[in-house]
Amino acid sequence: MWPYPRTLAHRGGGTLAPENTLAALRCGLAYGYRAVEFDVMLASDGVPVVVHDPELGRTVAGSGFISDYTAEELGRMDAGAWFGPQFAGEGVPTFEAVVAYCKAQRIWMNIEIKPAPGFEVPTGLAVARATRSHFTQEIAAGELLPLLSSFSIAALQAARQAAPELARGWLVEAVPAGWMQTAKELGVVAIHCDHKQLTPELARQVKEAGYGLFCYTVNTRERASELLAWGVDGYCTDRIDVIPPMA
């Protein structure tokens, strides 16, 4: 039911490196993490890039929107200096570059489709198509594939349309009333929720209904143990330095 790793480095390297960069992935790997979550949205040229915020300014030096710049322009921007001078010049990576790094290092991926507002359908389509093209051989061989996820129902529907063979998780803050009907309609395999909003009863319901259950963002070993005891299958963490990676 949950064939995936249980413990994922959030945004590549948690809070130990500039999020959603190749440096973050290297940091995660240095801590033994071979499973990551990261966020994907579209550059102005429709190329999927790995970044969290639709606006520049917090992690990417500059102003305007991700959707104002091409992937090549974003790659030349600075997504590392905000975190520390040793990361200055670290660009916004393309999704393709991140997948290539993860595949080379045998890092499993939870690919969060993170559309900028108004770009839900094209982002879901593009990320699913790109994932399928990057994993053609693995799909044919029946190997373990990445898990797509999104808060956006429109993006999840688009991803399903573009690549129905790729499993999807539905991201929510709190598991809403009526979740099972929506999950069924979306054809997702898992519910991804904020662990602070989860209760043992909701966890039991999700598991009894046959869905995977994933939590974000769990930052102590004690809480991780508690959630696993509730039946949670996997979680991502910002504290890759305090929570050891598990198989």
Residues that bind Mg ion (CB under 5 A): 39, 112
Select from 102, 236, 240, 243 the one that contacts ligand G3P (CB under 6 A).
Answer: 236
Q: Greatest CA span in the chain, whole angstroms? A: 48
**Cβ-contact 136, 163 below 8 angstroms:** no
**Cβ-contact 227, 198 below 8 angstroms:** yes
Give the residue numbers marked as catalytic: 10, 52
Site for ligand G3P in 124-143 (CB under 6 A): none
Residue type, 160: R
Distance of closest approach, residue 32 Cβ to ligand G3P, in angstroms: 20
Alpha-carbon distance of 131 to 127, in angstroms, equals: 6
**Number of residue whose CB is nearest Mg ion:** 112
**Cβ-contact 81, 87 below 8 angstroms:** yes
Draw the binding track, 51-70, toward ligand G3P (x: CB under 6 A; -: no contact). -x------------------
Which residues are within 8 A (CB) of 84 and not within 5 positions of it... i.e. 6 or more apart? 18
Distance of closest approach, residue 151 Cβ to ligand G3P, in angstroms: 7
Draw the binding track, 85-124, toward ligand G3P (x: CB under 6 A; -: no contact). ---------------------------x------------
- Other Cβ atoms closer than 10 A to 104: 8
Comparing CB distances to ligand G3P, the nearer of 8 and 43 is 8
Distance from the Cα of residue 75 to its chain's centroid: 20
Which spans of this chain sit near ligand G3P (rule: CB under 6 A)?
Answer: 10, 37, 39, 52, 112, 149, 171, 192, 216, 236
